[in-house]
Structure 1
Amino acid sequence: MCIISYWKNQTDMKMRVLNKKIKVKQLSLVLATSLFMISCGSTENVSSRKNTGTKTVAKSENLRILESNFDGRVSKSMSDILKDAEKYIGTPYKFGGNTSSGFDCSGFTVKVFQENDYQLPRRSLDQAATGKKIDIKEVKPGDLLFFATAGGSRVSHVGIVHDIGSNGEIKFIHASTSKGVMISSLNEKYWNKAYLHAQRVL
């Protein structure tokens, strides 16, 4: 009986240790996934709306006026980058993806710039520290826009400025969690409120 009792106690102890190890591994996996999601992922699930880009619209919807004064020509190298970005429109969102089968936000920017011989860091958080920080009024096609889609001030999403309207409206191309690669506007309420800053990397 003593031997049986001892064996049972040893078995119970091993099971408790094993369960703890499993829980630690599960927790580590959840934390790692959460950190990656924070570094790049939009939580938006809204449809694109047509925007006029006017100060009247911004005022009526209590939005910030995020417009650019750029009215120059886009360089050939930047035009090539934008064309490469456009060919992926409609590509689905894929967590951790950086190929034509699916992208997350920073995987998309890395792929597009990589195709034009420029290497960006993999995470949007690191991309936000690359190049030169610029005022929103100075942005031009090809610049990067950064957002805090989870609230606060931590970068969690990135897009590439696609074009500037005659009224200063800024549109950007990005990999959204809801619709994959698409073009959105800074005049859309969701993106207007989530916008943090812009960087020029080229």
Structure 2
Amino acid sequence: MCKRILGVGLLVILVSSCSVWKKTIRFLGISKAQIENNYTLSEVDQLIQTGLAYKGVPYRTGGIDRKGMDCSGLLFRIYSDQNFQIPRLSKDQAQFGLPISIQEAQVGDWIFFATNQSKVINHSGIISQIKSANEVYFLHSSTSKGVREDNLYTKYWLGSYVKMIRPFKN
């Protein structure tokens, strides 16, 4: 088992593409459950606290600072403030982790949407708190209201939901 974990660790270093990473995991026969969320509870808490500090910042396309930020810019800023490197764009962020179901959601997981009848992912957020099975809140930057928290279990957000991932740590 230790050799397998060491081998997977080396593959993570060598593999730069998330799609290659997913194929490698399948090839090795490793389940999602065997791969730990590499972020500690303390790190996740710090990431969420960092994100919550941006509540109220207005929306700005391409923005990543207090003057304004878009949804993927918010994720990017939260992680860069804690010295983690993640992709900048939602479409790339959506590939930067292991897919999970809504039922597996944990604080710190990333969530993706296709809003306004889009056929592609165009919105992202981070799970900020889970109060109950139907109260799962995520932090995101809304085009109309800026950085805020919303409950996933509303008609609008569930209708726009595409996927959720547990992000890689690097």
TM value normalised by structure 1: 0.61
CA distance in 2, matches of 1:167, 1:150: 26
- For residues 96 and 156 of structure 2, the distance between their equivalents in structure 1, rounded to whole angstroms, comes to 25
Describe the superposition over 1:37-96 as per-residue Cα deviations: whole angstroms up to 9, x where unpaired.
xxxxxxxxxxxxxxxxxxxxxxxxxxxxxxxxxxxxx81110000000000100000111
Normalised TM-score (structure 2): 0.72
Q: Partner of 1:42 in structure 2?
A: none
Structure (1 or 2) with the greater strand fraction: 2
Q: Note the C-alpha offset of 1:110.
A: 0.1
Between the aligned residues of both structures, percent identity stands at: 37
Q: How does 1:1-202 map to 2 (within 5 A)?
A: 75-202=41-168
SS at match of 1:191: helix
Q: SS at 2:164's partner residue? A: strand
Equivalent position amino acid for 1:117 in 2? N
Provide the aligned length of Structure 1 versus Structure 2. Answer: 129
Residue 150 of structure 1 and its aligned partner are, at CA, apart by 3.2
Whole-Å separation in 2 of the counterparts to 1:170 and 1:117: 26
Q: Distance in 2 between matches of 1:167 and 1:191?
A: 15
| Unaligned runs of at least 5 residues, structure 2 | 1-39
Please tell me the residue identity of whatever aligns with 2:52: E
Q: Hey, what's the Cα distance between the residues in 2 that align with 1:148 and 1:122? A: 17
Choose 1 or 2 for highest CA Rg: 1
The list of structure 1 runs, each at least 4 consecutive aligned residues, that deviate by more than 3 angstroms after superposition, is none
SS at match of 1:164: strand
**CA contact 2:134–2:153 (8 Å) conserved in 1:** no
RMSD value over aligned CA atoms? Answer: 1.3
